[in-house]
């Protein structure tokens, strides 16, 4: 069997996959996020490790004993700063932290070839501008920083004692020459760093180390190989079989992602489209990213006092959408594609005396769907084709949201077995490939189709009309978001 561990923002998932590819067992452990100031988002690296121990411990003992290899996936971009003794110097600054907008502009000024090297706009979520922020605001921490790791790679360090990353996750740092799949000395120099501060790179399908005896004992696992692994989205692609040009998936997790596999490096920085390495050697992908997706629905649930998300969504479905329904700009922590605007904030518009909790929830579901439609347009502007879109992520369990998404995107959405654990499943598949005996195409097959949701013509027509107002709202309000926001 093969173990996959996904270090998410809201929790750690662990899965065991059998020789035939079927999901044998899964478990999870929650994580908390700290927001010390508006626009800031941090986590304690020790919490990732403790959650990993708890999640793996929940797997059946027999499944753990049969594991032959392990793989890792994780939330991208998180800046984990270690001293010379590999101790974290401060909480990790996460992917949805917006404090480093000024540093993004400064990095592009320092290295004018930034966009051609990385293939991307420099965004506050990326790791490099976070380090420039630390150098300015916490100079003693920066001086003591001996190594910078991404979240899954910190967990790898605890598992294997090795400092290693992979090209897919490293693509989101702002330090990688994405076309060459290697660190860029120029981008590192722009942040006052060198290769000595970076982990070594291995492809996601290659071994990165072995479990130490101590980690094997803590996890009650055999001393097995650990694969290079991947960032969460590339791992999800491997898990749902999105590995060939034109194949795509839509992930509804804390963030919302449209991911399209490509056979070559296809940058489109002007559209705030991410052009990153795939988890598989010699392959790349493009992404549009919303910073807030399922997290928006969680926020509405907290706002309305409705703890049962399924019941809240059902109320929204029963209420339905009309031309007069309220809107929500779902930019709770800023936005990436297509706006690249860390100052953007969430806005309800069109509230009336009879507006209900169901209306607020419906506006949230619709707002994410319309934001993802903006992202799809940006991807198509980048060139290439997008065919079938597979659904993955925890939000994919909500059927009404799927109906809204299909109508907003104007495309059918395919739901597959185990789609909600795509990243952890992909990590397990990468573990299997790291043993070196099988072909990518034989391991990374698409899971069985459970259902296909096709666009409802009447709903699609309504959303097309409402999208014009949604787009106009952001354009009208853009200049009003506070200048002092991160």
Taking Cα atoms as reference points, which of 78, 73, 174 lies closest to residue 120?
174
* Dihedral of the alpha carbons of 433, 439, 440, 444, in degrees to the nearest 10: -80
* Calpha distance 49→45 (Å, rounded): 7
Q: Which of 97, 177, 232, 374 is catalytic?
A: 232
* Calpha distance 482→486 (Å, rounded): 9
* Calpha distance 137→486 (Å, rounded): 14
Backbone angles phi, psi at 195, to 5 degrees: -60, -25
- SS3 state of residue 252: strand
Backbone angles phi, psi at 196, to 5 degrees: -65, -20
Backbone angles phi, psi at 284, to 5 degrees: -130, 180
- Look at strands 92-93 and 164-165 and give their pairing: unpaired
Is 40 within 8 Å of 464 (Cβ atoms)?
A: no
For the question of residue 308 being annotated catalytic, the response is no
Tokens of 28: 């999870």
DSSP string, 377-425: HHHHHTSS----EEEESGGGG-HHHHHHHHHHHTS-EEEETTGGGHHHH
Cβ neighbors of 310 (< 8 A, separation 6 or more) are 398
Long-range contacts at 156-159 (CB < 8 A, ≥ 24 apart) = 156/72, 156/208, 156/209, 156/226, 156/229, 157/86, 158/49, 158/52, 158/215, 159/70, 159/72, 159/209, 159/211, 159/212, 159/215, 159/226
Q: Give the count of beta carbons closer than 10 Å to the beta carbon of residue 106.
A: 18
Which residue has tokens 């399922």? Answer: 294
Q: Is 91 left (phi over 0), alpha (psi -120 to 50) or beta?
A: beta
Does the CA dihedral 21-164-291-272 come out positive or negative? negative
* Dihedral of the alpha carbons of 125, 127, 128, 133, in degrees to the nearest 10: 70
DSSP string, 173-185: GT-EETTTTEE-H
- Look at strands 11-17 and 69-74 and give their pairing: unpaired
Tokens of 478: 């853009």
Tokens of 329: 């700009």
**Active site residue ranges:** 232
């Amino acid at each position: 069997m093969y173990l996959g561990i996904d270090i998410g923002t809201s929790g750690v998932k662990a899965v065991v996959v059998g020789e035939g590819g079927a999901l044998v067992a899964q478990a999870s452990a929650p994580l908390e996020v700290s927001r010390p100031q508006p626009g800031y988002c941090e986590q304690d690296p020790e919490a990732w490790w403790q959650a990993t121990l708890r999640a793996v411990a929940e797997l059946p003992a027999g499944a753990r004993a049969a594991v032959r290899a392990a793989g890792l996936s994780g939330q991208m971009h998180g800046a984990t700063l270690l001293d010379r003794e590999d101790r974290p110097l401060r909480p990790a600054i996460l992917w949805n932290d917006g404090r480093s907008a000024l540093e993004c502009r400064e990095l592009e000024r320092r290295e004018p070839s930034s966009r051609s090297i990385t293939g991307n706009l420099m965004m506050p979520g990326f790791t490099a501008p976070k380090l420039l922020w630390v150098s300015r605001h916490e100079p003693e921490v920066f001086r003591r920083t001996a190594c910078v790791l991404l979240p899954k790679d910190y967990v790898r360090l605890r598992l294997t004692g090795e400092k290693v990353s992979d090209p897919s996750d490293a693509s989101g740092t702002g330090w990688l020459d994405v076309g060459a799949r290697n660190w860029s000395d120029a981008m590192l120099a722009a942040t006052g760093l060198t290769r000595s501060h970076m982990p070594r790179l291995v492809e996601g399908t290659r071994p990165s180390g072995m479990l130490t005896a101590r980690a094997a004992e803590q996890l009650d696992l055999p001393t097995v190989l650990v694969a290079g692994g991947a960032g969460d989205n590339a791992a999800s692609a491997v898990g749902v079989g999105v590995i060939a040009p034109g194949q795509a998936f839509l992930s509804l997790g804390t963030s919302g992602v449209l991911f399209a596999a490509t056979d070559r490096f296809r940058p489109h920085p002007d559209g705030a489209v991410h052009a990153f390495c795939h988890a598989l050697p010699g392959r790349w992908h493009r992404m549009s990213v919303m910073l807030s997706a399922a997290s928006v629905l969680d926020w509405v649930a907290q706002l309305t006092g409705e703890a049962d998300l399924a019941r809240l969504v059902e109320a929204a479905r029963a209420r339905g959408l009309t031309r007069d329904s309220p809107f929500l700009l779902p930019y709770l922590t800023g936005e990436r594609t297509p706006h690249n605007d860390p100052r953007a904030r969430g806005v309800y518009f069109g509230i009336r005396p009879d507006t209900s909790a169901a209306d607020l929830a419906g506006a949230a579901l619709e707002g994410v769907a319309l934001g993802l439609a903006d992202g799809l347009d940006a991807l198509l502007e980048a060139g290439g084709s997008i065919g079938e879109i597979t659904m993955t992520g925890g939000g994919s369990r909500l059927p009404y949201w799927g109906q809204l998404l299909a109508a907003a995107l104007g495309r059918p959405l395919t739901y597959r077995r185990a789609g909600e654990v795509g990243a952890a499943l992909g990590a397990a598949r990468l573990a299997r490939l790291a043993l070196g005996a099988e072909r990518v195409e034989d391991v990374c097959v698409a899971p069985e189709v459970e259902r296909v949701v096709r666009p409802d013509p009447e709903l699609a027509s309504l959303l097309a009309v409402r999208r014009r107002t949604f787009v106009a709202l952001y354009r009208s309000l853009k200049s009003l978001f506070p200048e002092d926001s991160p």
